[in-house]
Amino acid sequence: MPLYNDTALVLRHYDLAESDRIVSFFGRRYGRIRVVAKGAKKLKSRFAGRLEPFHSLDIVFFGKENANLVKLSSVEMSTSRTGISADLEKFYHASYMVEMVEAGLREGDPNLTAFDLVAKGLSWLERQTGSKDLEWVTRFFDLKFLSALGYRPMLERCLLCKKEWSGDTDPFFDPLAGGLLCRRCSDKKTGFIPLSKGAAKFLGKILITDFEMAERLKPSQSLLEEISRSILAFRNARLQKVFKTERFLA
Amino acid sequence: MESSQTLLKLTEELQKLPGIGKKTAERLVYFLLKAGKKEAQSLALRLNELAEKVILCKICGGITEANPCAICSSSARDKSMICVVEQPLDIAIFERTNRFQGLYHVLMGTLSPLEGVGPESLRIDELVERVKDGKVKEVILATNPTMDGEATSLYISKQIKEFGVRTTRIARGVPVGSDLEFVDEITLMKSLEGRQDI
Ligand SMILES: [Zn+2]
Ligand SMILES: [Zn+2]
């Protein structure tokens, strides 16, 4: 039987019969996969403590091509993120990231950009000490993650008339179509969100900023509230999902 | 199987049990058919008794036929200690050690944001009420050492902090009889954090 290896984030696990578990991973190479970990709940399991959510692991698994579930063969720790379980806020936000992955990516649908973003997002969470930036970084993550899925919003020109946005006027954001509308075109559609020109430019800045730089880009509270409306409406329109973890985020 | 609706319905019921798929359910049904009337009736009787008599203790949430349960109503138990567990079955596991003399409190699960399970779905308010009355000196958090179990313990410790009780977490570490060579780094780290004087 063929062996596969991957670097993978633990998303969550489910109990299977007796002492076995199904572990849901987000693999760098294979995307979202579910793997059976035999005896994972047993005291002397060689997988033991490593299979908890949010760690990055180097995993080896095997199984037949097209098999519904493959089996875990071995596990090495790549990046441990134990700090997340020591803080409820971190735990809730990390759970939200997992839910984003599950909402945005089907099983066996690899996405390297999304993988790197989630890995960085989880590491960022684990490093924080009493940070007040959680809300901001989460919205930053949302927009970057949606673009990684291929939902990059059009911020350079008007979605309808295609005219380049000059940056001198306040545009509108259309969450369904994913982008800006000029003032004149906004009359022709409904369900858009008014956006100040500063906020529209700021959304563009997020798209070209690396995750590591997110904290430095931190907007004022009022700007954050403004862009959050557009980002969340965009997320909901694209992923069509009620997020169970959302009510846990302060 | 389609010859009998009764068989079909029973197979469907059995399939709702954890770890039982269609094949196993069918095999169980055929076994009962072959075993004869008495076997099936005795099983039905036991299932009925389970549904009628077995309840959850109104204080600790443990499995019992009397309310409150034998542990909660025993005068021999140490009422200053409460051991908090996830499931009713966990009580039996602790009782088997014959070591713990305090009381229990079953949460009926853990926090699980991904499943939408928040503190309001657990028996946390009930625990806070028990701690409030002042007799409790120590709360031992014995949820599983999983991510959800750790988060749940953390949440509870914050909720009961203001009542000034001692809050402890069961030690996580190297399993007795194992070899350090085969212990993963997370477990090893936890065992260092939880080290004790000897
Ligand atoms: Zn236009
Ligand atoms: Zn009881």
pLDDT confidence tier of residue B1, bands split at 50, 70 and 90? very low
**Domains contained in chain B, number:** 2
CATH number of the domain to which B147 belongs: 3.40.1360.10
Q: What average pLDDT does this structure show over B91-110?
A: 96
The answer, for B93 touching chain A at a CB cutoff of 8 Å, is no
Give first-to-last CA distance, chain A, whole Å. Answer: 47
Residue A62 corresponds to which amino acid? F
* Residue A126, phi then psi, degrees to nearest 5: -65, -30
Whole-number mean pLDDT of chain B? Answer: 92
Of the CA atoms within 13 Å of residue B198, those in its CB half-sphere come to: 2
| Domains of chain A, earliest start first | 3-80 (2.40.50.140), 85-152+191-248 (1.20.1440.120)
Whole-number mean pLDDT of chain A? Answer: 91
The predicted pLDDT at position A69 comes to: 81
Q: Are B121 and B42 contained in the same domain?
A: no
Is-contact B112 B88, C-beta < 8 A? no
Q: Are B33 and B130 contained in the same domain?
A: no
* Helix A134-148, helix A88-104: angle, nearest 10: 20
Reported as a single tens digit per residue, the pLDDT across A61-106 is 998 766 678 999 989 999 999 889 889 999 999 999 999 999 999 9
Q: Are B44 and B88 contained in the same domain?
A: no
Whether B146 sits inside 8 A of A52 (CB atoms) is yes
Whether B151 sits inside 8 A of A91 (CB atoms) is yes
Beta-ladder partners of A175: none
Q: Are B30 and B92 contained in the same domain?
A: no
Q: Is the pLDDT of residue A167 over 50?
A: yes
Q: Are B44 and B91 contained in the same domain?
A: no
Q: From chain A, pick out residues whose CB is under 8 angstroms from the CB of B191.
A: none
* Helix A134-148, helix A197-207: angle, nearest 10: 70
Q: What average pLDDT does this structure show over A102-121?
A: 96
Higher pLDDT, residue B2 or A214: A214
Task: Output the six-digit token pair for B172.
Answer: 């996580």
Residue of B nearest to A46 (CA): B182
Q: Are B113 and B161 contained in the same domain?
A: yes
The predicted pLDDT at position A131 comes to: 63
What value of ipTM does the predicted structure carry? 0.87
Distance from CA of B154 to the nearest CA of A (A): 7
In a domain, B44, yes or no: yes
Q: What average pLDDT does this structure show over A179-192?
A: 86
Q: Are B47 and B87 contained in the same domain?
A: no
In a domain, B58, yes or no: no
Q: From chain B, pick out residues whose CB is under 8 angstroms from the CB of A99.
A: 113-114
Q: What average pLDDT does this structure show over B5-26?
A: 91
Q: Are B118 and B88 contained in the same domain?
A: yes
The predicted pLDDT at position A68 comes to: 72
Residue B168: count of CB within 10 angstroms of its CB = 15
The predicted pLDDT at position A44 comes to: 61
CA distance B77 to B131: 16
Q: What average pLDDT does this structure show over A196-202?
A: 96
Q: Are B24 and B69 contained in the same domain?
A: no
Q: From chain B, pick out residues whose CB is under 8 angstroms from the CB of A44.
A: 175, 178, 182
Is-contact B77 B95, C-beta < 8 A? no
CATH number of the domain to which B12 belongs: 1.10.8.420
Q: Are B88 and B47 contained in the same domain?
A: no
The predicted pLDDT at position B197 comes to: 81
The predicted pLDDT at position A65 comes to: 63
Reported as a single tens digit per residue, the pLDDT across B29-82 is 999 999 989 999 999 999 999 999 999 999 999 999 999 999 999 999 999 999
Q: Are B43 and B14 contained in the same domain?
A: yes
How close is the Cα of A87 to the center of ligand 2, in Å?
31
Reported as a single tens digit per residue, the pLDDT across B147-161 is 999 999 999 999 999
Q: Of the given ranges (A244-248, B6-10, B98-102, B174-178), which has the lowest mean pLDDT?
A: B174-178
Residue of A nearest to B175 (CA): A43
How do strand B81-85 and strand B138-141 relate by DSSP bridges? parallel
Residue B195 corresponds to which amino acid? R
Residue among B80, B86, B10 nearest B47 (CA)? B10
The predicted pLDDT at position A228 comes to: 96
State the pTM of this model. Answer: 0.89
Domain that holds residue B12: 5-53
Reported as a single tens digit per residue, the pLDDT across A14-33 is 887 677 889 999 999 999 99
Q: Is the pLDDT of residue A58 over 60?
A: yes
Q: Are B103 and B74 contained in the same domain?
A: yes
